[in-house]
Amino acid sequence: MIRPLKIGLLIVTLGQLSACSISQLTVRAAMPLIEGGISAMNRQGDLQLAGTALPSNISLIEGMLVNDPNNSNLRLYAAQAYYGYAFGFVEDSEPTRAAQLYQQGYLHAQHALFAQGLNQEAMKGNLEQLQKSINTLSHSSVPALFWAASCKAKAIDLARDKAQNLAQLPKAVMLMQRVLDLDEDYYMSGAHIFFGVYYGSKSPMLGGNYALSEQHFKHANTFNQNKLLVVGLLQAQYLERQRFNKEAFHQLLTQIIEASDTLYPEQQLTNQISKHKASLLLKKEDQWF
């Protein structure tokens, strides 16, 4: 005879299994493999191999989300994968498609933000309502805030011809400002890189601030010990181009191209992408200056 206590435990166990399906358990058991795959991809130095592998990785994550749609960590991996693929392999040749990929990444990160407690109605409302909701978010919300802001800002940047998109930029800035407030050096000081681009990509008459942009880029370089080449890449592309500093533009991009391939093994892929993009930007030097 099964004792009452054991019957109770059996009922609880069956209840847990019904609440968390076998497919969800399978997905969650596979999470360490996804994490390991991301780490391995970051160390990849072959751009062709990485560009071929990333779409398959995205499809895998999307398939896992079908079985576990409320898995916030998986949502953030998806956002990161869409961002990385669009930035590294699509936006230079297919900006419209890249904007769509960034938007898809944003939707995943936004899902994770809502799970953290961001008010969904506030996201659709005015800036004051959104700020109040953002202010309630804690340190645990930083990854969702970061990827939502990053993906949304890039989607907007590649679709500047649409006024309704530009109107959403202040919301992305507010999300990233919360990252800066809670953990300024999250993801290789990514919030500082974001604001380096934000303040450097427009003239002072339109809200730009070259000195502030330079400070943000300097902080990111210091934090990364000058090993993360994308910092210099974005400084050249946005700040130096905007203030028409041809010498700094050329010097930064040349330094990136000539940097050692083993400068930052943990971020080998990002550095190789930066080298490739630097060579593309240098070809536009005479056109821009």
Q: In this predicted structure, what is the pLDDT of residue 11?
A: 40
Q: How far apart are the C-alpha atoms of 139 and 144, rounded to whole Å? A: 10
Q: What is the rounded average pLDDT of the residues 12-36?
A: 69
Band (129; pLDDT cuts 50, 70, 90): very high
pLDDT in tens, 101-123: 999 999 999 999 999 999 889 88
Length of the chain: 289
Every domain of the chain and the residues it spans? 26-183
- Rounded to two decimals, the pTM is 0.91
pLDDT in tens, 145-184: 999 999 999 999 998 766 667 788 999 999 999 999 999 9
Structure tokens belonging to residue 30: 């596979």
pLDDT in tens, 263-283: 999 999 999 999 999 999 999
Residue 88 above 70 pLDDT? yes
Of 113, 179, 109, 176, whose CA–CA distance to 147 is shortest? 109
Q: In this predicted structure, what is the pLDDT of residue 162?
A: 67
Residue 188 above 80 pLDDT? yes
Q: How far apart are the C-alpha atoms of 223 and 187, rounded to whole Å? A: 11
Percentage of residues of the chain with pLDDT beyond 90: 81
What's the chain's average pLDDT?
Answer: 91
Q: What CATH number was assigned to the domain covering residues 26-183?
A: 1.25.40.920
Structure tokens belonging to residue 128: 């004051």
Structure tokens belonging to residue 277: 């993009």
Percentage of residues of the chain with pLDDT beyond 70: 92
Q: What is the rounded average pLDDT of the residues 238-260?
A: 98
